[in-house]
Chains A and B, each alone.
Chain A
Amino acid sequence: MPCPSAARAAERRPRVRLGILVVAILLATVASPLAALEQGEAAPAFKAPGLSGGTVSLAEYRGKVVYLDFWASWCAPCAVALPALERLRQEFPADQFQVLAVNVDRQPELAKTFLRRRPVSYPSAFDPKGEIPVQFGVETMPTSFLIDRQGVVRHVHRGFREEDVPDLRERIQELVTSGR
């Protein structure tokens, strides 16, 4: 005669398995871990179509300090960030510092309308599928990466307020003058 407790345990086993299955499905559907790029890590080299034609490639800017900004027309702080970044870009020599942007709108017309109201002279890559923000582990909109001449991320800036500009200027200045 089988032991009653062993029989109960055997009866419970499928339920436990089903419980694990449900939890696994829950985690698989809800959780989406993103590896956020941090200071000291190499910036992934990307190449994407430009919003105003041509292609935009991060590798082309190797040897310059690059401020890479992820933006979208629906992102309210981006409306503050773009004009501020344009001013910052003009404060430093173009052969040493460049601003590069990645637009993640799904429709290019929305981004172009946004840029007509807030014109900037720096290039924007157009990535409607959001492949580049996945590579960089963008956690919030907007997020920017200050990248040194060797392609290493030196600062990650999440969100944007006008008050952030002096700190950013200082960080850019430090990288430009240090020659890194």
Chain B
Amino acid sequence: MHWLCLAIVIAAPLCGCSSVRPWEREELARPEMAWEPDPLEASLESHIHFSKEAALVGGGSGGGGCGCN
């Protein structure tokens, strides 16, 4: 019986799953749905991050902390 309960617990949340077809992405395409709505600001923050943290981010290489690269 507990296996049935487990199956229901696993299956029930899946009822909320649905695939979004390419022509149904209207809401997902809205600017506010983007991870980084402002590309310029995202680029600036990314630059500060890798300069100060000397860490590899996005599409850049690790910096030395000087902020000059």
The 3 closest A-B pairs by CB, nearest first: A104-B23, A74-B29, A32-B19
Number of chain A residues whose Cβ lies closer than 8 Å to a Cβ of chain B = 29
User: Is residue B15 contacting chain A, with contact meaning CB distance below 8 A?
Assistant: yes
Q: Which of A14-22, A43-51, A144-152 is the contact stretch? A: A14-22
The answer, among A21, A26, A138, for a CB contact under 8 Å with B22, is A138
Sorting the interface of chain B by its residue count into under 10, 10 to 19, 20 to 34 or 35 or more gives: 10 to 19
Q: Which residue of chain A lies nearest to B18 when distances are taken between CB atoms in the complex?
A: A29
The answer, among A22, A70, A130, for a CB contact under 8 Å with B7, is A22
Distance in angstroms between the alpha carbons of A72 and B7 in the assembled complex: 40
From 12 to 61 in chain B, residues with beta carbon under 8 angstroms from any chain A beta carbon are 14-15, 17-19, 21-26, 29-30
Q: Which residues of A contact B4 (CB under 8 A)?
A: 18
A interface residues, Cβ below 8 angstroms from B: 14-15, 18-19, 21-22, 25-26, 29-32, 34, 70, 72, 74-76, 104-106, 130, 133-134, 138-141, 143
Question: Count the A-B residue pairs with Cβ separation under 8 angstroms: how many?
Answer: 55
- B23 & A26 in contact (Cβ 8 Å cutoff): no
- B11 & A21 in contact (Cβ 8 Å cutoff): yes
Q: Which residue of chain A lies nearest to B24 when distances are taken between CB atoms in the complex?
A: A130
- B23 & A18 in contact (Cβ 8 Å cutoff): no
User: Is residue B10 contacting chain A, with contact meaning CB distance below 8 A?
Assistant: yes
Given that A72-B26, A74-B26, A141-B25 are known contacts, is A29 also in contact with B15, CB under 8 Å in the complex? yes
